Amino acid sequence: MSQIDTRMLTIEDYNAIIKLWKLAGLPIKLKGRESKENMKKQMEFFPEFFIGAFHRKKLIGVVIGSYDGRMKGWINRLSVKPEYRRTGIAKRLIDLLETVLERQGAAVLCALIESPNEESLSLFQRMGYILHDDILYVSKRRSSEV
């Protein structure tokens, strides 16, 4: 495989991001948090939290993170185009985002993985993340699109 390049994503990458997420089978809230308008705002405030991997200028991987300001960094979205999986791209994207989050002050790095997703869980565990099956995630949403 020829060289894989990485860079911060911009709103010009929006359509390619959505296409990749659909290919990866990720749930997408196009009228909510993943709307073009919302993603543009997020990218303007925290551009370094949106990282893409490119092969021949085509988007093949995305990682998106956030920092809560209280020493916790979050990996909120990770996806790699199916034919590029198991090539180290996901690990590379995670490594880059971890560096960004640690520079922000994150001492605890967390990832949200929607079940069932054994492939992602296995990747994060290989990278030193610990599964906390004693923690439950709850949320309250204005709507199902948020």
Catalogue all structural domains in the chain, each as residue range(s) with its CATH number.
Answer: 4-126 (3.40.630.30)
The per-residue pLDDT for 125 is 95
The per-residue pLDDT for 110 is 95
Q: Is 113 left (phi over 0), alpha (psi -120 to 50) or beta?
A: beta
Q: Is 59 left (phi over 0), alpha (psi -120 to 50) or beta?
A: beta
Reported as a single tens digit per residue, the pLDDT across 45-89 is 999 999 999 999 999 999 999 999 889 999 999 999 999 999 999
Q: Is this structure's pTM higher than 0.85?
A: yes
